[in-house]
Structure 1
Amino acid sequence: MSLPRAALPIVEPTAPKAPLPEGACDAHVHMMGDDFPLWDGRVEDPAPGLLEDWAQRLERHLARLGLARVVIVHSIVYGGDNAVTLAAVRRLGGRARGIGLVTDGATEAELDALAEAGVRGVRLNYVHGGILSWAGVQAMAPRLAARGMHVQMLMNAHRHMADLADAVRGMPVPVVFDHIGWPNLGAGPSEPGFDQLRGLVADGAALVKLSGLYRLCDAPYDAAAEHVASLATANPDGCLWGSDWPHIMLADAKQPDAGILLNAFLDVVTRDADRRTILTQVPERLYGF
C-alpha cells in the first residue's frame, strides 16, 4: 500500500524581525534521507532527498534564521534505527546534538553508543504510542542519568498531565515536554493540566519546548501567544525554542514558514535577556554545546 509523501519545507523562510543572540539554537528539527531504511509502521514517507540534500536544506534553514546550533530529534519514520540522526549529527559537527529513539529493552551498549555519538536524550510519544513506554523510560532513567541524558516527551497537557506530574517531579533526569505540552488552546492557559505543566516549569521540575504552534493554530499563531507567554514568564530557564522543521506528518495543519514561527516567539518573548536564556543558555546547559 502506498503512503502519502511529505512536502518539502519552505525554501526561503521569512527572516527574523530581530537579530538572535550569539549561539542561538533550534532545539527541535528532524532529519530525513532516502539513503536510510524506513520503519514499516510509519504513516507517511518523507519528501525526497539523500542525507546530504537534507543537510544542505537544514544549513540554509539555520543560516536564514540566524541560528548557530541545532538539535536533531529522531523521527519515528525511521523507527528505532537511529542511523539517519547519528549520521546528521556527524555531518553537522559540534553545532549539532541528537535525541534518539530506543525501546524499553535498550541495552547498556546501545545507550553508550548513542551518548558517545552526541545523543543527549531519548524521546517518548505519550500521544500516539511507539516503541518506548512511560514505564520503560522511568525504569531506564537512572541509566540515562549516568550518561548525562534526559527524557523528551510528547503529551497532551489537558489529557495526561494529571497522571504524569508527580512522577515527573521524581525523575532523576530532566524531562522536556514538546510543543508547549500540546494543550487544548480553547480551554485557555488556566486549564488544570496546562497549569500543572506551568507549575513544573516554574519549579524547575521540567522543561518545555516553545514549539509546534502550527499544529495547534494557524499563522501568525496569536491564538497560542498567551500559552507561550505563561510558560516563558513562569521560568525562562525552563524553556527552549524549536521550529519542528521540516514539518512532517502535518495531518490537518498547514505547512508553516519557520521564520513566522520564530517571529511569533520574538513577539511574545521581548526581553533580550530572556531570549538569550531560552535560545542559547538553556540549550548549552541541556545539550552540552
Structure 2
Amino acid sequence: MLRPMHHADLPLDPPSRPKASLPPGACDAHVHMLADDYPLWEGRVEDPAPGGLEDWALRLERHLETLGLARAVIVHSILYGGDNAVTVDAVSRLGDRARGIGLVRDGATDAELDALAEAGVMGVRLNYVHGGILTWEGVRAMAPRLAARGMHVQMLMNAHRHMEDLAPQVREMPVPVVFDHIGWPDLGAGLAEPGFDMLRALVAEGTALVKLSGAYRLSDAPYDAAAAHVDALVRANPEGCLWGSDWPHIMLADAKQPDAGRLLDAFLDVVTSEAARRAILSDTPARLYGFPQP
C-alpha cells in the first residue's frame, strides 16, 4: 500500500543559513524535483508531497538562495520511474543554473539518450539500494553510448556490500562513475572496512567520484558520525568529491527530516580549506556537469 508523504515530510523551507559563505558558482550536486501532477511509477514506495512543478521549483530556488548556492543538479527520482519529464521540465525552468541526471531502462535507445542529452541531462542513475529499472549490466552495456554523448553514470550502493565486486568493473568503464551518499558505508565498521577503502582508492586515483551527501541517512544531527569518512574521501582527492543536500529528502525510511543548512555546516566543519571547498563545490561540478567555470 502506498504511503502518501505527510506534511511533516516536507523539507524545511527555507533551511537555516550556513555558517560561512560559499565560493562563486557553488553547486548543490544532488537534489530531486517533485510535482504531484506528473505520472508516477507504479513500483514507487510513496507519493510526492502536494504541490505542482512551479511550487516545488520555487521551494528549490529558496533552498539554493538561502544556502548561497548558484547551481543545482536535479537527480531524477524513482518515484517517476523512467518518465523523466518532471526533471527535464525543472532543468528547463531553471535554465543554465541546472543540469539533470536521468533514469532509463536497460537497452535505452539512441533517440532516448539524445533527447536527454539535449535537455541538459548529463548522466543516468542506477540504484543498488532500493532497486529500480536500470541494472549494472545494462549500464555497462550502455556506457560507450553514454560516453559518445558526454554523459556519465551515477550510482547508489552500499560500499560494504557492493564495492568489492564493482571496483574492477568501474576501472574499466569508459565514463566517469559517481557514487552517491559517501558510498552509503557502514559507519560502525570504520575507515578500514574493505569496501570503503576500495571507494577511497577509486577516488584517489581519479577513477570514480563521490558525493558527500546523505549524512542524515547515516546518523542523526549533528551528523558528525560521518565526519571521518568525509574527511578520508576529501583527503584522498578533493577534486573527486562533490557536495549535495539530497533535498527535499524523500524516502526517509528511518531517517529524520534534516535541515539542509546544518548539513552544509557539517561539511564545512570537516572541509576547512578554501581550495578544497572551491574544488568540491564549484570546480568539479562545473567540469562534470558542463557549467561555465565560475
* TM-score, normalised via structure 2 length: 0.97
2:157 to 141, 155, 158: 155
The answer to whether the Cα contact below 8 Å between 2:16 and 2:261 also exists between their aligned partners in 1 is yes
- Cα deviations across residues 2-24 of structure 1 (Å, max 9, x unaligned)? 42315210012111111100000
| 5+ long unaligned stretches in structure 2 | none
Note the 1:128-277 alignment, pairs <5 A.
128-277=130-279
Counterpart-to-counterpart distance in 1, 2:26 and 2:3: 36
Note the 1:27-38 alignment, pairs <5 A.
27-38=29-40
| 5+ long unaligned stretches in structure 1 | none
Note the 1:93-112 alignment, pairs <5 A.
93-112=95-114
SS in structure 1 opposite 2:73?
strand
Note the 1:12-161 alignment, pairs <5 A.
12-161=14-163
Range that drifts further, 72-81 or 12-21:
12-21
The answer to whether the Cα contact below 8 Å between 2:4 and 2:49 also exists between their aligned partners in 1 is no
Identity of aligned pairs, percent? 79
- Cα deviations across residues 57-79 of structure 1 (Å, max 9, x unaligned)? 00000000000000000000000
The amino acid across from 1:24 in the alignment is: A
Question: CA RMSD of the aligned region, Å?
Answer: 0.7
The answer to whether the Cα contact below 8 Å between 2:203 and 2:233 also exists between their aligned partners in 1 is yes
SS in structure 2 opposite 1:152?
strand
* TM-score, normalised via structure 1 length: 0.99
Deviation of 1:127 after TM superposition, in Å, equals 1.7
Residue 286 of structure 2 corresponds to: 284
1:8 to 7, 10, 15: 10
Deviation of 1:128 after TM superposition, in Å, equals 2.1
